[in-house]
Chain A
């Protein structure tokens, strides 16, 4: 059984109510599903005896700018047992600021903590139940999210205030 069949079989048995969409562009398996189930699916993929996707390599997001569902959060996870990687994709439906949130997987993979902080810093996506959601790279008082497509490449003048002078 190849990876796609194995993962699809396991997920179908465990979550009959969830719709999974599979793609294997360039031999890389990607699974798209609803954001409600991310924590459940993530912990299942991690703990399932035959899969063991224990290493979370990366969490990031894509800004589609013009589509109806503006952001997609992307997770890359690796199984040391199967020596293979899969990509989980959860679209965040909607274009309003209040729609840009998803449950944090830092309780499943501890390493997701900083990845999610970075994604929050760059895209402004809120990760619910995150233990310490602060900006990763930009200063605390920074008001914008630099990797969004509507943030100009040259930056916004005055958005990075110089440190105050001590008397």
Chain B
């Protein structure tokens, strides 16, 4: 420690913060010197550009300070300077493993602000794509976590399943990854029968394949022992630190926004909320695996209940008209011109709208001054808040456990850094 502080350079604030941290970890055979280790921002196990400063005694972590901002693009500033429609593609790039869920979250917030509601069929399609996204995102989370602790095969197998979902998105909206599928007041285009058939095929074969993946790791002694009892957080602490989503449910708190504040038609759907009490890495992994099974159940019911009808709202002042009508009707042309050039101008007011994203609670706080662009847009991203728990979780563990803990938290830096 002496060596670092006595260097000719002034220690940076982040380093100072690490050195100031009080630590209650005692090591049995303490070494004479503590060591500062810089992990990231370019490190395969940090899932992007997360940087951790670790204060070590031997291999034991005494204190940790995470540093964010390496992927900060200023989306909140950009949102204040563009129309509500223009921001839809940018939401893809927040949590880039679940772009469709972000699209849905954004349009739900804007619709609430503008006081409109999408037609039932559009809402059912949104529910379907949200749950498909949840499966895709959790598959990456499980695969990457297994890879972080040394089980490489699982990653290949879960990515194979995810690939099938991306293929379905390709048919649904013409893009595999950054979809931008939803629109204010509905969705870009109706879900074709081919897509619905493919989704049905996917959920029919999915559970069997997930079982196969789980057989690889659930009884694997190395995997279980590296996860069991590592990074434990109690339910009370988890709420206090702001955990939401699977991480919170892994600590025994039954909190899911789809149940707590139902949006779309989740009230009509029958599904369980998987909860595990242990609060360690293994519990968080189990929650994710079980949640994909519940998502399959939800999708099955959504496919059964999906009504026929319009997929975009007919509200010329707030929703862009159909392209064919713009070319043939004067009225529609005028509305299109007004919305494209001046925006949808929601009334003066403010809303906070949050949905249950794969990573946790994704909220948008929008303030409108009656103009075409938001006066303020705050993105409440789950990954950033979940990352805040890392110093607490890694304290007293080995360096190799840090990797497992980051994997089990499942951060996506595109979202954490906005």
Contact surface of A with B, Cβ cutoff 8 Å:
25-26, 28, 30, 54-58, 60, 62-63, 74, 76, 80, 83-85, 87, 109-111, 113-115, 118, 122, 132, 134-140, 146-147, 151, 153
Query: How far, in Å, is B50 (CB) from chain A's closest CB?
Result: 13
> Nearest A residue to B74 by beta-carbon distance?
A146
CB contacts (< 8 Å) of A63 on chain B: these are 376
Query: How far, in Å, is B231 (CB) from chain A's closest CB?
Result: 17
Interface centre among A30, A54, A110, A135 (most CB of B within 10 A): A110
CB contacts (< 8 Å) of A151 on chain B: these are 77
A146 to B365, CA, bound (A): 18
Query: How far, in Å, is A42 (CB) from chain B's closest CB?
Result: 13
| B153 interface contact, C-beta 8 A | no
A45 to B378, CA, bound (A): 23
CB contacts (< 8 Å) of A62 on chain B: these are 367, 375-376
Q: Which 3 A-B pairs have the closest CB atoms?
A: A111-B242, A137-B69, A137-B72
B351 touches A26 (CB 8 A): yes
CB contacts (< 8 Å) of B349 on chain A: these are 25-26
CB contacts (< 8 Å) of A146 on chain B: these are 74, 77
Query: How far, in Å, is B346 (CB) from chain A's closest CB?
Result: 10
A122 to B68, CA, bound (A): 14
> Nearest B residue to A132 by beta-carbon distance?
B17
24 contacts between A and B (CB under 8 A): A25-B350, A57-B354, A57-B361, A57-B363, A76-B380, A80-B255, A85-B352, A85-B354, A109-B240, A110-B240, A111-B240, A111-B242, A113-B388, A114-B388, A122-B76, A134-B13, A134-B17, A137-B72, A137-B417, A138-B72, A140-B12, A147-B76, A147-B77, A153-B81
Given contacts A76-B365, A110-B242, A137-B72, 16 further A-B contacts (CB under 8 A): A25-B351, A30-B350, A55-B242, A58-B378, A60-B378, A62-B367, A80-B253, A80-B260, A84-B261, A113-B388, A114-B388, A115-B385, A132-B17, A134-B17, A137-B418, A138-B69
| B409 interface contact, C-beta 8 A | no
> Nearest A residue to B21 by beta-carbon distance?
A132
Counting contact residues on chain B (CB < 8 A from A), the size range is 35 or more
| B384 interface contact, C-beta 8 A | yes
A155 to B113, CA, bound (A): 29
A26 to B351, CA, bound (A): 7
CB contacts (< 8 Å) of A55 on chain B: these are 239, 242, 244, 255
B388 touches A111 (CB 8 A): yes
> Nearest A residue to B242 by beta-carbon distance?
A111
A58 touches B380 (CB 8 A): yes
CB contacts (< 8 Å) of B354 on chain A: these are 57, 85
Interface centre among A30, A55, A76, A138 (most CB of B within 10 A): A55
Interface centre among A26, A80, A83, A87 (most CB of B within 10 A): A26
Query: How far, in Å, is A49 (CB) from chain B's closest CB?
Result: 16
CB contacts (< 8 Å) of A113 on chain B: these are 388
CB contacts (< 8 Å) of B376 on chain A: these are 60, 62-63
Interface centre among A74, A111, A113, A115 (most CB of B within 10 A): A111
A114 touches B260 (CB 8 A): no
Interface centre among B14, B74, B113, B354 (most CB of A within 10 A): B74
Contact surface of B with A, Cβ cutoff 8 Å:
12-14, 17, 20, 68-69, 72, 74, 76-78, 81, 112-113, 115, 239-242, 244, 253, 255, 260-261, 349-352, 354, 361, 363, 365, 367, 375-376, 378, 380, 384-385, 388, 417-418
> Nearest B residue to A63 by beta-carbon distance?
B376
Query: How far, in Å, is B371 (CB) from chain A's closest CB?
Result: 13
B68 touches A28 (CB 8 A): no
A135 to B76, CA, bound (A): 16
CB contacts (< 8 Å) of B244 on chain A: these are 55, 57
Query: How far, in Å, is B8 (CB) from chain A's closest CB?
Result: 14
A58 to B352, CA, bound (A): 10
A153 to B241, CA, bound (A): 33
CB contacts (< 8 Å) of A54 on chain B: these are 239-240
A28 and B352 contact, Cβ closer than 8 Å, known pairs A110-B240, A114-B385: yes
A85 touches B261 (CB 8 A): yes
A74 and B365 contact, Cβ closer than 8 Å, known pairs A58-B352, A62-B375, A146-B74: yes
> Nearest B residue to A108 by beta-carbon distance?
B240
B351 touches A153 (CB 8 A): no
CB contacts (< 8 Å) of B72 on chain A: these are 137-138
CB contacts (< 8 Å) of A76 on chain B: these are 352, 363, 365, 380
CB contacts (< 8 Å) of B20 on chain A: these are 132
CB contacts (< 8 Å) of B69 on chain A: these are 135-139
A26 to B378, CA, bound (A): 18
A26 to B114, CA, bound (A): 10
B13 touches A140 (CB 8 A): yes
A109 touches B12 (CB 8 A): no
A51 to B264, CA, bound (A): 26
> Nearest A residue to B243 by beta-carbon distance?
A111
A137 to B69, CA, bound (A): 4
A153 to B78, CA, bound (A): 7
CB contacts (< 8 Å) of A118 on chain B: these are 384
Query: How far, in Å, is A1 (CB) from chain B's closest CB?
Result: 19
Q: Contact partner of A153 among B77, B261, B365, CB < 8 A? A: B77
A134 touches B81 (CB 8 A): no
